[in-house]
Every structure is written in structure tokens, then in C-alpha cells.
Amino acid sequence: MRIPIIAGNWKMNKTTAEAIELVNVLKEGMGDTDVKVVICCPYTVLATVKKAVEGTNIKLGAQNMHWEDSGAYTGEISADMLKEQGVEYVIIGHSERRQYFNETDETVNKKVKKALEKALIPILCVGESLEERETDKTFDVVKEQVLKALEDVEASDMKNIVIAYEPIWAIGTGKTATPEQANEVIAYIRNVLKEKYGEEISEIVPIQYGGSVKANNATEIMNQSDIDGALVGGDSLKAESFLGIINF
């Protein structure tokens, strides 16, 4: 049985003091949840958040990493640097990285493979634009993204991967795919995995939904047959909202 994973993507938000304040409120409100909770915070507060979540079931995640171990890559962070800070998860291929920083399916693939090599769990993001949705290209786009991202990834590694379906048109817009729309695409992604790796592997990979997930729609989203959690943006920055999603 796949355990739901609720991951908060703080993006470029939270100073050290703000991070500590938010994590402390989350710890008080979480209780004994069976849901896996991951906080993907900025590099600058990784060590702070790691210390703050000690003794809880909250895991630490980063929002990006480079595919090389070291080198002349100004401003970049390596997998080893993340591991040193206690990071266990790393978001790879978020649509904002693709849109603003020229991430490609090829660089996403390199990062996925490096994360697996370094025993980090990649949260692999895929999703279509509004134009692609309106021209009935959703399945083609998502399939291509999944297959290119997982090129040369062995079946044995798939137990250490999380996939997040994030329709680009629903990120930060207030628009949300209906639970049925989200589940349809996620079921399709699972079928793509089945074709590539077989049914047994496809059934163990957690596939999250991301895109304006809020406390008031989390239960309906999470009750869908193939949705195994949420990658939460803006509402992960507010303790009450994020707790509402965790405790769906």
C-alpha cells in the first residue's frame, strides 16, 4: 500500500526566523499522522529546518540540485552538499525551473540519475501547459516528460522515486484540476510506468498531485484512486493551511 506523501515547496520564501516559527507550529499541530511529510525549503534554511524537525516524522527536502558532483557551476548546489545538510528528498524538474531557468527533459534526467546515485529521493515533476491541455496534448506531453526523465533509470531504482503531476496552468493561479481530471492523468502516468517497468513496479511508485492544493479541497483530491499525496506551494507557507492538508 502506497503511503501518501505531502510535500511543501516553500519556493523563494522564509527567512531563518520565519522558518523556525512555521516549523514549530507545524510540529505542535501535526499529531500522530501516518502521512509522510516533507518540507522543501530554500538552501539557506536547510540546516535550520533540519535541526527544528529532529524527533518528528517531518523529512527535509531541497528544491533543486546540479547533476555534477563539483565544478565551475557558479550558484549551483551538488547532491553531496544537500546530503551533508540532512536532505532526503529533492524536487527535480519543477515547471518554474523549466520555464524560468531553461530546464530540459535531458537535464531533468541527469538530475534524477544523480539523485538516485547519491541516495536522494527525487520528486520528479511533470505537467502540461494550458495550451497543451486545450489542444488535447496532455497525455502526449506527460508521457514524453516521464519517459525522458526516466531514461536509463533501472526498475530497481523506482522504489526510490516520487512523481508529482503538476499541470502548469494550475500552479499559483488559483485554478485547480478537478479531482477527476488529476486522477485521470495520474492513472495514465501509472500506466506509462507499467508499460516501461511492469505492473508490480508501477504500483509502488507514489504519484502526487500539485497545483493550488488547499485544505478545503485536499480530502476530495486525496480520496481519488491513484493520487498518493500532494506537492503544495503557497499553502505550505501557512501553518493552518498546510496542517489542514496534512490532516486531510
Our answer to whether residue 166 is catalytic in this structure is yes
CATH architecture of the domain with residue range 5-246: Alpha-Beta Barrel (3.20)
- Which pLDDT score, from 0 to 100, does residue 32 have? 79
The reported pTM is 0.96
Give the residue among 245, 156, 148, 229 at the shortest CA–CA distance from 192: 148
DSSP 230: E
Our answer to whether residue 94 is catalytic in this structure is yes
Domain residue extents for the chain: 5-246
CB 205 within 8 A of CB 192: no
- Which pLDDT score, from 0 to 100, does residue 177 have? 81
Quick one: residue 152, left, alpha or beta (phi over 0 = left, psi -120 to 50 = alpha)?
left
Average pLDDT for runs of 10 along the chain of length 248: 94 98 94 90 98 95 98 98 98 95 97 98 95 93 98 97 92 80 96 98 96 90 94 96 93
Selected catalytic residue, list 96, 128, 132, 166: 166
Distance CA 99, CA 169 (A): 12
- Which pLDDT score, from 0 to 100, does residue 46 have? 98
- Burial 146-174, CB ≥16 within 10 A → b, else e: bebbbeebeeebbeebbbbbbbbbbbeee
- Which pLDDT score, from 0 to 100, does residue 11 have? 97
Selected catalytic residue, list 66, 94, 96, 128: 94
- Percent helix, strand, coil in the chain, to 5, is 50, 15, 40
